[in-house]
Structure 1
């Protein structure tokens, strides 16, 4: 049974490994990676300055911080994917304290359009990269620091989609309050 705090913390549910990632599922993930930035743009276009300061729960990041967080972390995901493909023994790669990043003045005050633009470009690159991957490459693993586990590139694509949907739901939740 999901309790209220879990539905606020995980409005789209926690990420769950699909176990098997067929070519059709990878194509669905790529299509979603391509469409998500436009959903962020639509929300950004409707946000007032007051709405950018809203939180989806007490103590959470603001709408503005969430926009920047998603753009920042998806750039890190892209770099992790490329590192996994280009290094014979991928290491941790790009790692950051995203909580510390979110409280920087830049993350609290920068225009969200910059992050929407960044997200659009990063997602285009991720989608293009994903479409070039062979089944063997989709099974390459790398260590994902926040999850403290190894992920295949297929799982990483799934997490990218989940993460964008997860925080878009947080943003929508904050805006509906």
Structure 2
């Protein structure tokens, strides 16, 4: 069951990244939209409404969740670059996943949003001076996160959810 929940393994925080690791995290964010599109390509509504694990979200919910989560992450990035250790607000991921748009909207809406958001986010990250990756935000539950640490999470989070879809496709014999 743990493999279904964490197909790429649990998250490991990289509080301070060197230039090479940072470029790798940004590259993941750059490639994630096309990987998400490929993972969800040609799935029927029945397949999109299949949970990736027992008691898990459906593929449709996962796609919409990535767009929702990455919008929040993008805003957190901009906040920490323009304010001194801003306090960020968490969002109720489970609650958002149960809203009607997340449970039933066509995935193309979130795939397009994810594409455009990541283009803008990558542009911002690639133009951010190295010293600004030590800037941070405060999370009410998780404390201070540097941009390096947050970036390591943002990259992992995208790969984590894309793997939920690709591993389900593999288990179910749905060809990509």
**With structure 2 as the length reference, what TM-score do the two structures score?**
0.91
* 1:170 equivalent in alignment to 2:142: no
- Check conservation: 2:26, 2:122, Cα contact below 8 A: yes
Q: Indicate the residue corresponding to 1:100 in structure 2.
A: 95
* 1:24 equivalent in alignment to 2:51: no
Q: Indicate the residue corresponding to 2:151 in structure 1.
A: 157
Q: Superposed, which structure 2 residues align to 1:27-176 within 5 Å?
A: 27-92=23-88, 94-145=89-140, 148-175=142-169, 176=171
> Please, which moves more after superposition, 96-105 or 166-175?
166-175
**With structure 1 as the length reference, what TM-score do the two structures score?**
0.90
* Deviation beyond 4 Å, 4+ runs, structure 1: none
Q: Secondary structure at the match of 2:138?
A: strand
How many residues are matched? Answer: 171
Q: Distance in 1 between matches of 2:152 and 2:73?
A: 11
Q: Indicate the residue corresponding to 1:8 in structure 2.
A: 4
Q: Distance in 2 between matches of 1:24 and 1:58?
A: 38
Structure 1's unaligned 5+ residue stretches are none
- When the two chains are superposed, the root-mean-square deviation of aligned CA atoms in Å is 1.5
> Please, which moves more after superposition, 55-64 or 38-47?
38-47
Shift of 1:124: 1.1
